[in-house]
Amino acid sequence: MKREDVLMEALPYIQKFYGKTIVIKLGGHAMVDQKILETVIRDAVLLHYVGMKVVLVHGGGPEITAKMKAMGKEPKFVGGLRITDPETLEIAQMVLVGKINDGIVSLIANCGTRAVGISGNDGNLLIARKMEPQRVQIGETFEEVDLGHVGEIEEVDPEVLHCLLAQNYIPVVAPIAIDRQGQSLNINADTAAAEIAIALKAYKLVNLTDVDGVMDADRKKVYHRLSLADAEAMIGRGVIAGGMIPKLEGCMKAIRNGVTSAHVVNGNREHNLLLELFTDEGVGTMITP
């Protein structure tokens, strides 16, 4: 394809997305290579300059895990959610708010654009309550497992994001929420991104991760298009595991609540974000009603 054809293929998409809100979730597994992360940030800045309202929500699971191990703690997950004791919450806040959020804001600044880093605590963006204990199958029996300081989002107040977007800042959100007593809670970043997309009435939610999309059980085939019913059936068949559970559930909830499309895209390949949005074929999984 000629270079000018590539640009012309993008034009109808640029027109369609102009002025629309896009929530981009940067998974921890899509941020392991600093060089690629820099290209992802440049892509996000490009979306900002072609007129989209860009909101970034980031994870950082692998870095939290590494820090826990370095401190002699063994990470444990239930349904893709980290069991979070008080010390783990402190580590998660340090890594997510203190390090990763700040790093992304600096990368955006390096592209000549202004970003503001916040967590769900700021402006009461994410109000949560402690998650109820989860039923987990251990061998033949079921046990109730308390996840500790893990939150379930009760309310989203997007006002702070509207203010930042109106002033042309790119908001960068760390997945920590606050409960009604002022206690911080650890939130899965996929869930945070989906709830924020719903509250902003976003046009798109894009999850950048380390796989080419939602795959079948033996992880050979990528599904490029999924309806809500297809996605529900995949969860029912047990094809979806680990960190893909909150991701796909977040996408489904977003779609059920008015977001036009949700995407799962490999963020470890350069410019996949642009290719997913601005080409006819796309590169990842697009979930629609």
Ligand X SMILES: CC(=O)N[C@@H](CCC(=O)OP(=O)(O)O)C(=O)O
- Sole binder of ligand X in the list 21, 23, 24, 27 (CB under 6 A): 27
Q: Is 188 in the site for ligand X (CB under 6 A)?
A: yes
186 known member of a binding site: yes
Distance between CA atoms of residues 187 and 11, nearest Å: 37
Q: What is the pattern of x (binds ligand ADP, CB under 6 A) and - over residues 186-215?
A: -----------------------xxx--xx
Q: Choose one: 8-16, 26-34, 122-130, 259-267; the region binding ligand X (CB under 6 A).
A: 26-34
Q: Is 197 in the site for ligand X (CB under 6 A)?
A: no
Q: Choose one: 59-67, 197-205, 233-241, 279-287; the region binding ligand X (CB under 6 A).
A: 59-67
Q: Is 186 in the site for ligand X (CB under 6 A)?
A: yes
Q: Supply angle C-alpha 86, 61, 150, rounded to 5.
A: 40
Distance between CA atoms of residues 159 and 170, nearest Å: 14
Nearest of 87, 21, 96 to residue 58 by alpha carbon: 96
Q: Is 213 in the site for ligand X (CB under 6 A)?
A: no
Smallest separation, CB 4 to ligand X (Å): 37
Closer by beta carbon to ligand ADP, 168 or else 227 = 227
The two tokens of residue 125 are 């963006």
Residue 171 contact among ligand X, ligand ADP, none, beta carbon within 5 to 8 Å by kind: none
The two tokens of residue 174 are 């760390």
Could you tell me how many residues of this chain bind ligand ADP (CB under 6 A)?
18
Closer by beta carbon to ligand X, 190 or else 212 = 190
Smallest separation, CB 121 to ligand ADP (Å): 21
Q: Is 95 in the site for ligand ADP (CB under 6 A)?
A: no
Q: H or E element: which one contains 209? A: strand 204-209
According to DSSP, the residues that pair with 48 across neighbouring strands are none
Q: Supply angle C-alpha 57, 63, 66, rounded to 5.
A: 160
Closer by beta carbon to ligand X, 9 or else 85 = 85
Distance between CA atoms of residues 71 and 236, nearest Å: 37
In eight-state DSSP terms, residue 176 is E
Q: H or E element: which one contains 215? A: strand 214-215
Distance between CA atoms of residues 75 and 82, nearest Å: 7
Listed in sequence order, the residues at least 6 apart from 246 whose beta carbon sits closer than 8 Å to its beta carbon are 79, 80, 81, 188, 190, 191
List Cα–Cα distances, 277 to 52, 172, 228, in angstroms.
12, 20, 20
- Sole binder of ligand X in the list 44, 97, 150, 244 (CB under 6 A): 150
List Cα–Cα distances, 224 to 90, 102, 255, in angstroms.
38, 33, 16
188 known member of a binding site: no
Smallest separation, CB 1 to ligand ADP (Å): 29
* Residues lying near ligand ADP in the complex (CB under 6 A): 27-30, 59, 61, 209-211, 214-215, 239-244, 247
Q: Give binding residues for substrate as ranges.
A: 60-61, 82, 186
* Residues lying near ligand X in the complex (CB under 6 A): 27-29, 59-61, 64, 81-82, 92, 150, 175, 186-189, 243
Q: Give binding residues as ranges.
A: 60-61, 82, 186
